[in-house]
Structures are given as structure tokens and as C-alpha cells.
Structure 1
Amino acid sequence: MDSIIFDLDGTLWDSSDVVVIAWNGVLKRYKEIKKEITKEDLQGIMGLQVKEIGSKLFPYLDEVTQQKILKECCDVECHFLSNQGGMLYGKLEEVLKVLSKKYKLFIVSNCQSGYIEAFYKYHKLHRYFIDFENPGRTGLSKGENIKLIIERNNIKNPVYVGDTEGDQKAARFAGIPFVFAKYGFGEVSNFDYAINSFDGLLELF
């Protein structure tokens, strides 16, 4: 193994406490929205792309309105996270520091442009990662973005660490092993390795 590619939400951090405040501030301005978003709602959409999120959270709205509202939510969310950050999982930087001395580290997340940058900016963690990708920049699926990272950085033997069934499918699409982060938001039935906490990676690798 020469590298580790990480999912972000539910794997490296939990941003939902901050995001729910940012989103509800936006939603209050739209009379067609029937209810506030909860933290559980947000955790249920982690790992989905924006189009999927719109149909899941606002099925009573047309797609154009869904996307308009979500774009505004995402823009405000990145501003909030750049200034407040999220909740990092235990010993995150300590573990990244150790891993980065032995492996090349990357992030591939199903998020908008600016989201990973907000994670980097507030928590000062960019130094540990070589590269990152997301559909906000490429318009590609998570599996395609993983393959793009592999090709762009000439990676030979990577693994992908994530917490949802979508992460597992993306790793399979890219043809690489999947490490299930059990402490995250999702349930996964088929995986190559599993960790109960982020520092479990030190025992695994």
C-alpha cells in the first residue's frame, strides 16, 4: 500500500452541528419550505450528491427550485465552516501526522467546491494531504473522482476509507480496497477492513 484516500463527512469530521445552523438560516427565507432541517436529516444525506440531496430533502419542490436553494445553502455552509470548523474525530491530526510520513494522503468527497477547502482552512490540515477532488469541481461520481486522483498522482496501491454504502461502491468502482469507518454515519455490509475509531488506522496499517 502506498496511499490512503479519505472520505470527509463521517470519516474525518462531523460538520452537521454547524451546517444545520447555516442551512436553516437560508431556509427561513423560502416560504415554500415546510420545515427546518435537523441534524439527523443532514447525517442521512452525507455522501450523496447535490441532485440526490434535493430530491430527498425537498421532494415537494421542482428540481430547479431544489437546486437553487441547495446552492445557496452550500455557499453559506462553506462560509460558516471556514470560520467555525467542524468536529474532528478523535486524535485526527495526530493520526494524520503519523500516516503522512509513510503514505500519500488524499480526500475524495461528494461535496461542492469550497467545502474541502473550508475543512483545510479552519483546521490547518492541508499540510498532510497531497491532493483532493469532488463533484463540485469535476461533475463526476465519487468512484470516477477516486480514479481521477489515482491517475493524476500516479498511485499504485491505494485504499479508500469511508463510512457509507456509497463509499464502498465507489471504492469497488475504482477497483481498490475499502476500509469501513464504523464510527461514521452509515451502515456497510461488505468491506475489506473496518475501524471502530479513526486511530484504528494506526493498528490496521
Structure 2
Amino acid sequence: MTFDLLFDLDGTLVDTVYVTSDVLNEMLQKRGSQRVIKPEETRPLVTLGGEAMIAGLFGDDCIDALADVTEYRRLCLGRDTDDNSLFPGVRKGIERLHALGMKMAICSNKPQNMVEKIMSDLGFDKYMTAMVGARPKLPRKPDPALLNIALDEMKGEQKNCWFIGDGETDQEASALLGIPFVFASYGYGTPISDFPIEVSCPDFTSITDFLEKKLNA
């Protein structure tokens, strides 16, 4: 028996705050703003979602958050994601889990086309049996709909499934689906006491070690 692994994307596999800050600063510069956004300002707002993040970071420079997030995503699609964006240990860890025969999928609130582009840029699409991002009329996490779609696409089983993520919405979605949650404590989010955590890991290597140990137990 192997495990079916569902991964969040931002804050779990990929650290996007540097690209995000760069794109937002490009937008601000184009509108003549003197505001400069630093990566450390971006980090605590990433889990809020695009509109809330931009509204919080742009302040008075935000005229229309919906229009701004549309422009932000358009610009992001023009940027390539390379290994410098990966958290330490992620590439070796994903390769190791794949070699162990584990089925893996992405469950992200990031738009579907952005999820697919990032996975393709990194060459991770060959390891993922499903990649589920935000789609029209599909509820976002913490609703477990994304997780259920991923499990269905990967022909996985809930009883063998783990969800690995860094955010409060990941933790809640895992609890609502009734699967164990591995908390990536190096990411953007903060765990909440309302929902269970199977284990908290300080880096991706620890996540890989934990899952391999569970597999061999």
C-alpha cells in the first residue's frame, strides 16, 4: 500500500513572495506610485487570497482590487518559476516520494492555469496525477471540494490520503474531509486549535521523512 498525497502549492512547495512582490511593485510603478512592497510585507498576507492581499499591500493605491488581481495574475503568467522559488528539500522530496510509488496531486486556491504553469515550469507536472486549482463555480478551500476532485482524478482513496499544507484553510479543509493533516510550519500560515494536526514539520525534508516512516510502519 502507498499513500495518496494532496499538496497545497504556495507556502508548501513554492515560496512565491519574491515574484509576487516584484510583480506588485511593477504594477505600482506603472501607476506612478512611490510605494515599494518588500517580500516580508507580502508573506503574512499571501494566504488571504489575491484581492485581500493586494488591497492590504496597495493601501490607498488600490482603486479596484478585482481589476488589480486580474492584472497581477496576467503578469504572473508571464514569469517563469524556477528552482530558486522552491522551499529547501522540495525537489529531492517530491522525487523521493514519487520513487516510493506515492500518488501526488496539487490542491490550490491559485487559478487553474497558474497552477499548471508553475508545475510545468518546475517539471513537476510529470509527478502529479492531478492538479486542481481555482475554477469557475468551484468552492475554494476550506471547502473540501478541491480535495475531492483531486482524489477523484487521481483515483485515490480517502482512507490512504494525507493533505500537506501550510495554511489555516488547508487545515480546515483536511478536517472537513476527514483526512490527516501535515502542517508545513515553514510556510505562510499559522495553525489553529479548532482542527487537528497529525504532525508539524519545520522543513520539507521532515515531511518526506515522516511520510516514508509511516509508509514503512
Q: Report whether the alignment pairs 1:179 with 2:182.
A: yes
The answer to whether the 8 Å contact 1:92/1:198 transfers is yes
Cα offset for 1:114?
Answer: 2.7
The percent of aligned pairs where both chains have the same amino acid is 22
The answer to whether the 8 Å contact 2:138/2:145 transfers is no
Report what 1:123 is aligned to.
122
1:203 counterpart letter in structure 2: D
Unaligned runs of 5+ in 2: 212-217
Question: Number of matched residues?
Answer: 202
In structure 1, how many angstroms separate the alpha carbons of the residues matched to 2:51 and 2:57? 10
2:94 counterpart letter in structure 1: L
Cα offset for 1:76?
Answer: 0.4
In structure 1, how many angstroms separate the alpha carbons of the residues matched to 2:34 and 2:173? 33
Residues 195/74 of structure 1: CA separation in 2 closer, same or farther (3 Å cut): same
Report what 2:38 is aligned to.
38
The answer to whether the 8 Å contact 2:47/2:188 transfers is no
| TM-score under structure 1 length normalisation | 0.85
The SS at the match of 1:109 is strand
Cα offset for 1:81?
Answer: 3.0
Q: Deviations over 1:106-148 (max 9, x none)?
A: 1111112332223223221211111111114554212221122
In structure 2, how many angstroms separate the alpha carbons of the residues matched to 1:18 and 1:55? 17
| TM-score under structure 2 length normalisation | 0.81
Report what 1:92 is aligned to.
90
- Could you list the structure 1 runs, at least 4 aligned residues long, displaced by more than 4 angstroms after superposition: 58-62
Residues 41/137 of structure 1: CA separation in 2 closer, same or farther (3 Å cut): farther
CA RMSD of aligned residues (A): 2.4
Cα offset for 1:38?
Answer: 2.5
1:204 counterpart letter in structure 2: F
Cα offset for 1:85?
Answer: 6.0
The SS at the match of 1:114 is helix
In structure 2, how many angstroms separate the alpha carbons of the residues matched to 1:138 and 1:6? 21
2:35 counterpart letter in structure 1: K
Unaligned runs of 5+ in 1: none
Cα offset for 1:34?
Answer: 7.6
